[in-house]
Amino acid sequence: ALVGDAAGYVTKCSGEGIYFAAKSGRMAAQAIVQLMQGGTRLPTQQEIEDTYIADYDKKYQATYVVLDLLQKVFYSSNAAREAFVE
């Protein structure tokens, strides 16, 4: 399963991805452990993605929506970018 920057979990307005990479990696690992049912089975790639991506989206979707809105407002022009920085 893709995690972090490879999965596109980067904040658009800052390019920051370390926090989201760490969180998505941990969430993917937790999903794998849960799906393995105590080591009795090996989950498929699809099961891992369906589980961890759904959990990740549920937890962080609102964050990305707010960051997208900030980008649209403050990065729409040079003057807006300058106002945001100062």
pLDDT (tens digit, 9 = 90+) per residue, 7-66?
A: 777 776 667 778 888 888 999 999 999 999 999 999 999 999 899 889 999 999 998 888
69 falls in which pLDDT band (50, 70, 90)? Answer: confident
77 falls in which pLDDT band (50, 70, 90)? Answer: confident
pTM above 0.75, yes or no: no
Q: What are phi and psi of 75, to 5 degrees?
A: -115, 20
DSSP-derived letter for residue 71 is H
